[in-house]
Amino acid sequence: MALAHSTGRRRYRLILLVLTAVTLLTLDFRDVGPLDRAQSGVRDLLEPVVGVVSTLTSPVRGAWSAMWDYDDLRAENERLRAELDAVEGQRLQAAADIEAYRRLLEASDLPYVGDLPTVVAAVVRGPVGNFDDHVVTIDKGRQDGVEVGRAVVTGAGLVGRVARVDARTAVVQLVSDPDLPVGVRLVATDEVGLGHGVGGDAGLFVIDRGIPWPVDDDPTAFAAAGTAVVTAPDSRYPADIPVGTVRSVEPGEAGLVQLVTVDLAADVTDLSFVSVIVADTAGEPPVADVPVPVPVGTGDDAAGEGP
Partner 1 sequence: MRPVRLGAVVVGCLVVQLAVFVDVRVAGVAPELLALVAVVTGLRLGSEGGAVVGFAAGLLWDVYLPTPLGVAALAYGLAGHTAGLLAPGLHDEARWQRAGLGGLGSALAIVVYAVFGWILGHEGLLSWRLVPLVVVVGAIDAVVALVLDPLVGWALGAPVRTGGDGGRGRGRLPTWWTLRPRW
User: Applying CB under 8 A, which residues contact partner 1?
Assistant: 3, 6, 9-10, 13-14, 17-18, 20-25, 27-29, 35, 39, 42-43, 46, 49-51, 53-54, 57, 60-61, 64-65, 125-132, 135, 178-179, 199
Q: How far is the CB of 188 from partner 1 (least distance, A)?
A: 31
53 versus 84: smaller Cβ distance to partner 1? 53
Contact 148, 162 (CB under 8 A): yes
14 versus 288: smaller Cβ distance to partner 1? 14
- Distance CA(295)–CA(307), nearest Å, equals 22
Beta carbons within 8 Å of 47's beta carbon, 6+ residues apart:
166, 168, 169
Q: How far is the CB of 306 from partner 1 (least distance, A)?
A: 11
94 versus 128: smaller Cβ distance to partner 1? 128
Q: How far is the CB of 182 from partner 1 (least distance, A)?
A: 17
Structural element, H or E, at residue 203: none
**What angle (nearest 5°) sits at the alpha carbon of residue 181, between those of residues 175 and 186?**
85
49 versus 107: smaller Cβ distance to partner 1? 49
224: DSSP letter: P
What is the number of helices (H) and of strands (E) in the chain? 3, 12
- Distance CA(162)–CA(18), nearest Å, equals 32
157 versus 195: smaller Cβ distance to partner 1? 195
Q: How far is the CB of 243 from partner 1 (least distance, A)?
A: 21
Q: Which value, in Å, is the radius of gyration of the alpha carbons in the chain?
A: 23
Q: How far is the CB of 34 from partner 1 (least distance, A)?
A: 12
181 versus 242: smaller Cβ distance to partner 1? 181
Contact 275, 162 (CB under 8 A): no
**What angle (nearest 5°) sits at the alpha carbon of residue 178, between those of residues 302 and 305?**
35
Q: How far is the CB of 272 from partner 1 (least distance, A)?
A: 14
> In 10 A of CB 178, how many CB atoms?
13
